[in-house]
A = this chain, B = another copy of it.
């Protein structure tokens, strides 16, 4: 029987992250899955247990009718993992808010939406306030390793001159959709065309940069962003892609923020097949100065789901509106018991 304190959750988006989220929700006692939404025709009306590779049916079936799921499920929180751009997911977020559910989303632009979409940000904030609900973007990257964690690392500093964050991910160990997203297997020309169309690359680095700057109260006078393909030196083959020498194995993405003419933030993200010594690294130049290293780096998809659950559990402590990680109470794992 459901305890009255259980958090009622709808999973919006049943892709790889959504399924990992569903497995995590079903494993917890303090969270109850009350609905699942996805537009994919082949997933319609299938029990989420079936899609998530779990034996025991849940009775929760995937539906492409958000309004129905939200009305019947009466969720406290929607965990939302569909797309990267705010404009594309706006109607989805609005539907959740209209049902008076708060939303924790992995939509990358939502980490710091005013960076690219100031008008939509104001609109969404006003709607969330009027519905006494919260919308917040999070995840592992953006959402943690290149923004939240570096920000918290600055807490003991009397002064910070600059923050450098480096993340190196060997995407060979990651899901196929991510390998394709970083352009693995493309020719350099295909990569450039894909970049122009917004089909390859990482969304969110600019958002991380803006979150970092806003968190420290830094006004940036200039921001640069550069995405280069990484070319394979030898043939690479994964279960998902084949890459010939001189084809693209992934990306090298750098965002830099300048303050008073000097580089104040540098975010350096390398995601490619066969990347050596994957790691996360944060360098704080200030008083005190120090370097934080995570050998191997924090595993992407598992951590994204972890962040969603951590923020969902803390959502009631936030004031209604469009919130960011800056508003979050100390983000942390919260036990189900």
Contacts and interface: CB of A to CB of B under 8 A. Distances in A.
Interface of A: 24, 27, 140, 144-145, 148-149, 151-160, 215-219, 286-288, 290-299, 302-307, 309-310, 325-335, 337
B305 A158 contact: yes
B290 A292 contact: no
A293 B296 contact: no
A160 B306 CA distance: 10
A160 B333 contact: yes
A310 B287 CA distance: 13
Contacts of A217: 334-335, 337
Given A152-B149, A217-B337, A306 B287 contact: yes
Contacts of A337: 217, 219
Contacts of A145: 156
Given A156-B302, A292-B292, 5 more contacts: A144-B155, A216-B332, A217-B334, A287-B302, A290-B298
Contact of A156 (B151, B159, B298): B298
A291 B291 contact: no
The 4 closest A-B pairs by CB, nearest first: A156-B303, A154-B333, A288-B299, A155-B331
15 contacts: A149-B152, A152-B152, A155-B306, A157-B306, A158-B309, A160-B333, A217-B335, A288-B302, A288-B306, A290-B295, A290-B298, A292-B292, A328-B329, A329-B329, A330-B330
Nearest to A284: B333
A326 B330 contact: yes
Contacts of A219: 337
Given A293-B292, A294-B290, A155 B216 contact: no
Name which of A24, A218, A294, A295 has the most chain B CB atoms within 10 A of its CB.
Answer: A294
Chain copies in complex: 2
A56 to B, nearest CB: 19
B296 A290 contact: yes
Nearest to A20: B158
B155 A148 contact: yes
Contact of A310 (B155, B286, B288, B302): B155
Contacts of A295: 290-291, 293
A41 to B, nearest CB: 30
A302 B152 contact: no
A24 B286 CA distance: 13
A291 to B, nearest CB: 6
B326 A152 contact: no
Nearest to A333: B154
Contact of A140 (B154, B156, B302): B156
A288 B306 CA distance: 9
Contacts of A215: 330, 332
Contact of A291 (B155, B294, B335): B294
Contacts of A297: 290
Nearest to A313: B217
Contact of A153 (B149, B216, B334): B149
Name which of A27, A144, A156, A302 has the most chain B CB atoms within 10 A of its CB.
Answer: A156
Contacts of A334: 216-217
